[in-house]
Amino acid sequence: MKCENMKTMVDAPASRRGFTLIELMVTLAVLGILLSIAVPNYRTFVMNSRMASQTNDLVTALSLARSEAVKRAANVTVCASSDGATCTGGWEAGWIVRDAAGTPIRVQQALGGSSTMTGGADVASAITFTASGRTTIPTTATDATTTLTLCPPSPAAVQGRAIQIERTGRTRFAPVACT
């Protein structure tokens, strides 16, 4: 029985056996065109996702520090840390949330993807929250917020994020143009 079916398949005309070479080439050409359009958009999507994730990591650390300061009725600090134990290094090297005694509460590893994070002189290395949930960041009378800026490795493709910390301890972020 099987031999008869196989014989029928071999004897079938070429149009019923499968794809022709032209059909295969047209399909590959269409696939190539679609991929050339999709790949750059996918890269931008991945970079945007990475920026959002890194922003959320810092905002989460700041929120944790604020809530721990209120809960413990003591100062809690978020500081840039390259080794996860001391407040040394830049923000892109990572950060730690630690209590008034210096005990780490949470450690964040370095940012991935060659992103950079910078802060002004008032947040060069640390942000401290008091027992009332407010920050100790010195700000001018006209500027009640301080900002950490997160920039992607290729700023032309994706906007950076400005993480703004108000004197009251509230944290928010907004898109920012990086150069």
Flag whether 10 is in a domain. Answer: no
pLDDT at 81 over 60: yes
**Alpha carbon distances (Å) from 125 to 23, 128, 132:** 62, 10, 22
Give me the pLDDT at residue 126, please: 87
CATH number of the domain enclosing 135: 3.55.40.10
In a domain, 14, yes or no: no
Output the pLDDT for position 37: 85
Kindly state the DSSP code that residue 158 receives in the 8-state scheme.
S
Q: Is residue 101 part of a domain?
A: yes
Question: Is residue 8 domain-resident?
Answer: no
Distance in angstroms (rounded) separating the CA atoms of residues 26 and 51 = 38
pLDDT (0 to 100) of residue 26: 94
Tell me: pLDDT of 14 over 70. no
Q: Are 106 and 116 in contact (CB under 8 A)?
A: no
Residue ranges making up the domain that contains 140: 20-176
How many Å apart are CA 110 and CA 84, to the nearest integer? 9
| SS3 of the chain: helix, strand, coil, percent, to 5 | 40, 25, 35
pLDDT tens digits, 61-80: 999 999 999 999 999 999 99
Flag whether 65 is in a domain.
Answer: yes
How many structural domains compose the chain? 1
**Predicted TM-score of the model (pTM):** 0.76
For 98-127, how does the pLDDT look when each residue is reduced to its tens digit (9 = 90+)?
999 989 999 998 887 778 888 777 676 889
